[in-house]
């Protein structure tokens, strides 16, 4: 396991950061001319975070990943942030024109009574266009993760990741409820802005 | 010995048949000329299979694919029962046009990676001649399988973690240039896969490279050749091919080929197969050509066309227009065709 983590760090420094930059440019190129795109970002997973993920265990104590360099699919990740909810489907159309997904999911909370993480996720083949000429494609992840989010979904998931996901101790019931409250507000704001766009400009 | 297990199954054409024929299967021993031939197929597969493919997700969009599930199960435990399930999948999509086929599943381990090669040989007809003393017996047979058969199809998967890997692979279908349904049979219907590079992605890469090659060079003859190539490419709509195959088909000169190849981000992308998409090509087309009913043909860089040629309406109801341009003549050529 430590070998894989060390190997990842070496790849990160040698070419993954550069590939992420190229991926960002490529995605922005594909989305040229599409309205209401706030920004397109791409990143290579931080080596510390890769190490944490690679060491995860299942409930029975066995390692979750035996070959993390093959099995972890978000070593490279991209995010497209759009203004309004209706823009998500417009961007989805562009994404599926240029990529053949192996996964395409709408992430919503499990229960209709819950508020939490919302977003559109894809797992897509990494195009060879973004791999520098001197890099062995055999050492490059075969896939990357793409998320399409509205501004409010993006803002909420960033804060939740910082306060909830990375929290040092389990959150209390009240803290969880307050996080769900902010998710509900973000959800509501998305709905209202989308309706306003439809009424005023659509 | 990298090959661990080989199974073979006789697959009948049984698409849309309620009752599927039984599938005979056998384990191939690791000796003899058949095994030597299959070792060659296994060893060559990584080179021979040159079409990058990925499995489709489930209807719900999840990372789950029925064909991949069968392949992974077989790789994890290569038994004849698990192999027969793969053969059954192939049989259920085989039409009479595809005909009877002999399926080989070759599981191996190369450099710590699980490798699976799937090959289908079509049945052919032949004659067996046997000599006994001074007598010769001749017999016509209908189930001959030749490794040189034209419809040879193969697929290749390799991963150090098949349970999470094996999402992409490579395939070959020697009838890929023929009617599309033949390649659809192997890649889309049997393997439940699609080309890794979508038509618009491959086409955009080509159009952008073509534009860069035209704009970057100083050689007017090469520029002209590439502009002509761009016009000819518009006729390739729907064709599945790699950029290298397209260059060869259009018969580009060495200089034009070099200019185009230099503008592609990586040399190995020249061999990626995609389905040419004319609408996408037009979006990024480097030059716009307008033909008039009087035989005139006007060509200019797309982005500057309206600046180079000014248009004046002459007789609007009849669609008559006049184009005006002004410049110094830097080149003049006589051409047999557009």
Q: Is B294 exposed, middle or buried (0-12, 13-18, 19+ CB in 10 A)?
A: exposed
- Closest Cα to residue B10, out of B144, B196, B204, B162? B144
Over residues B97-119, the pLDDT tens digits come to: 888 889 999 999 999 999 999 99
Over residues A119-153, the pLDDT tens digits come to: 999 999 999 999 999 999 999 999 999 999 999 99
H helices of chain B, in order, are 32-48, 66-76, 80-93, 180-183, 199-216, 220-233, 243-250, 254-262, 278-284, 305-308
Helix (H) or strand (E) holding B120: strand B113-132
- Closest Cα to residue B276, out of B203, B196, B176, B205? B203
Name the residue facing A105 among B62, B160, B198 (closest C-beta): B62
Over residues B180-225, the pLDDT tens digits come to: 555 688 999 999 999 999 999 999 999 999 989 988 877 888 888 9
Cβ of B267 within 8 Å of Cβ of A133? The answer is: yes
Q: Does B127 touch chain A (CB under 8 A)?
A: no
> Is B151 in a helix, a strand, or coil?
coil
Q: Which chain A positions have a beta carbon within 8 Å of B201's beta carbon?
A: 97-99, 127
Q: Which residue of A has its CA nearest to B163?
A: A71
A interface test, pick of B66, B168, B206, B274 with most A CB neighbours within 10 Å:
B168
Q: Which residue of A has its CA nearest to B53?
A: A100
CA–CA separation, B71 vs B45, rounded Å?
A: 16
Q: Does B62 touch chain A (CB under 8 A)?
A: yes
Q: Which chain B positions have a beta carbon within 8 Å of A104's beta carbon?
A: 57, 61
Q: Which chain B positions have a beta carbon within 8 Å of A131's beta carbon?
A: 265-266
Average pLDDT over residues B113-127: 88
Over residues B285-318, the pLDDT tens digits come to: 767 777 788 888 788 877 688 889 998 888 878 8
This prediction has a pTM of 0.87
Cβ of A103 within 8 Å of Cβ of B54? The answer is: no
Q: Does A56 touch chain B (CB under 8 A)?
A: no
The CA-based angle B83-B87-B90, given to 5 degrees, is 145
The CA-based angle B246-B168-A44, given to 5 degrees, is 100
Least confident of A137-151, B113-127, B239-253: B113-127
According to CATH, the topology of domain A2-200 is Beta Polymerase; domain 2 (3.30.460)
Inform me whether the pLDDT recorded for B328 exceeds 80.
Answer: yes
Confidence grade of residue B269 (pLDDT, cut at 50, 70, 90): very high
H helices of A55-161, in order, are 68-71, 85-98, 151-160
pLDDT of residue B126: 77
Q: Does B212 touch chain A (CB under 8 A)?
A: no
- Cβ neighbours of B291 (radius 10 Å): 11
Inform me whether the pLDDT recorded for B91 exceeds 60.
Answer: yes
| Average predicted confidence (pLDDT) for chain B | 88
pLDDT of residue B179: 47
CA–CA separation, A74 vs A146, rounded Å?
A: 9
A145's CB contacts (< 8 A; 6+ apart) are A73, A74, A76, A77, A78, A121, A122, A123, A124
Say which residue, B131 or B73, is predicted with more confidence. B73
CA–CA separation, A184 vs A166, rounded Å?
A: 21
CA A27 vs. chain centroid, Å, equals 14
pLDDT of residue B176: 52
- Cβ neighbours of B159 (radius 10 Å): 22
Q: Does B200 touch chain A (CB under 8 A)?
A: yes
B interface test, pick of A71, A100, A137, A147 with most B CB neighbours within 10 Å:
A100
CA–CA separation, B167 vs B149, rounded Å?
A: 28
DSSP code string of B37-88: HHHHHHHHHHHH--EEEEEPPPTTSSS--HHHHHHHHHHHS--HHHHHHHHH
pLDDT of residue B144: 78
Confidence grade of residue A169 (pLDDT, cut at 50, 70, 90): confident
Q: Does A142 touch chain B (CB under 8 A)?
A: yes
How is chain A split into domains, by residue range?
Answer: 2-200
A interface test, pick of B171, B208, B265, B277 with most A CB neighbours within 10 Å:
B265
Cβ of B268 within 8 Å of Cβ of A128? The answer is: yes
Angstroms from B276 CA to nearest CA on chain A:
13
Cβ(A20)–Cβ(A27) below 8 Å: no
Q: What are phi and psi of B151, to 5 degrees?
A: -95, 20
Cβ of B167 within 8 Å of Cβ of A104? The answer is: no
Confidence grade of residue B151 (pLDDT, cut at 50, 70, 90): low
Q: Does A54 touch chain B (CB under 8 A)?
A: no
Length of chain B: 338
Cβ of A100 within 8 Å of Cβ of B167? The answer is: no
CA–CA separation, B82 vs B66, rounded Å?
A: 13
Q: Which residue of A has its CA nearest to B279?
A: A97
Angstroms from B265 CA to nearest CA on chain A:
6
pLDDT of residue B338: 47
Over residues A92-126, the pLDDT tens digits come to: 999 999 999 999 999 889 888 989 889 999 999 99
Q: Does A105 touch chain B (CB under 8 A)?
A: yes
Over residues A67-76, the pLDDT tens digits come to: 999 999 999 9
Measured between its terminal Cα atoms, the distance across chain A in Å is: 53
């Amino acid at each position: 396991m430590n070998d894989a983590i060390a190997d990842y760090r070496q790849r990160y420094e040698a070419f993954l950061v550069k590939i992420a930059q190229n991926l960002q440019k490529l995605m922005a190129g594909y989305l040229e001319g599409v309205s209401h795109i706030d920004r397109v970002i791409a990143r290579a997973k931080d080596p510390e975070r890769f190490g944490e993920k690679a060491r995860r265990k299942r409930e029975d104590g066995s390692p979750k990943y035996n070959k993390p360099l093959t099995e972890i699919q978000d070593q490279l990740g991209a995010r497209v942030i759009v203004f309004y909810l209706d823009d998500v489907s417009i961007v989805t159309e562009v994404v599926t024109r240029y990529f053949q997904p192996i996964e395409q999911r709408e992430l919503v909370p499990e229960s209709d009574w819950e508020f939490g993480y919302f977003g559109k996720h894809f797992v897509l083949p990494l195009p060879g266009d973004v791999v520098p000429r001197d890099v062995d494609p055999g050492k490059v992840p075969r896939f990357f993760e793409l998320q399409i989010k509205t501004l409010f979904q993006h803002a909420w998931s960033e804060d939740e990741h910082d306060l909830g996901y990375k929290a040092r101790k389990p959150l209390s019931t009240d803290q969880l409820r307050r996080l769900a409250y902010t998710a509900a507000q973000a959800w509501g704001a998305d709905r209202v802005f989308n309706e306003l766009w439809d009424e005023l400009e659509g | 010995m990298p090959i661990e297990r080989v199974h073979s199954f006789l697959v009948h054409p049984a698409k849309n048949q309620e009752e599927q024929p039984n599938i005979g299967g056998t384990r191939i021993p690791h000796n003899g000329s058949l095994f030597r031939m299959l070792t060659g197929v296994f060893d060559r597969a990584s080179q021979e299979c040159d079409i990058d493919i990925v499995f489709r997700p489930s209807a719900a969009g999840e990372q789950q694919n029925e064909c991949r599930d069968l392949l992974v199960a077989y790789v994890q435990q290569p038994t004849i029962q698990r192999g027969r399930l793969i053969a059954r999948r192939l049989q259920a999509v085989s039409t009479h046009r595809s005909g009877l086929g002999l399926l080989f599943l070759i599981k191996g381990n190369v450099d710590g990676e699980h490798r699976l090669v799937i090959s289908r040989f079509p049945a052919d007809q032949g004659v067996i001649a046997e000599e006994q003393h001074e007598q010769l017996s001749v017999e016509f047979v209908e189930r001959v399988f030749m490794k040189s058969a034209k419809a040879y199809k193969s697929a290749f998967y390799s991963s150090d973690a098949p349970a999470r890997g094996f999402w992409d692979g490579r395939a070959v279908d020697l009838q890929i240039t023929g009617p599309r349904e033949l390649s659809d049979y192997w890649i889309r219907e049997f393997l439940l896969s699609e080309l890794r590079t979508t038509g618009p992605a491959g086409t955009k890469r080509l159009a952008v490279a073509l534009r860069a090659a035209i704009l970057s060079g100083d050689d007017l003859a090469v520029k002209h050749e590439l502009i002509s190539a761009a016009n000819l490419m518009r006729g390739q709509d729907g064709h599945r091919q790699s950029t290298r195959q397209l260059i060869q088909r259009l018969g580009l000169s060495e200089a034009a080929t070099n200019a185009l190849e230099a503008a592609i981000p990586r040399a190995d992308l020249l061999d990626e197969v995609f389905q040419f998409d004319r609408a996408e090509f037009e979006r990024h087309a480097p030059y716009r050509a307008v033909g008039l009913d009087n035989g005139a043909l006007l060509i200019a860089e797309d982005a500057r066309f309206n600046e180079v040629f000014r248009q004046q309406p002459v007789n609007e109801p009849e669609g008559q227009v006049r184009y005006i341009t002004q410049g110094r003549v830097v080149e003049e050529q006589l051409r047999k065709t557009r």
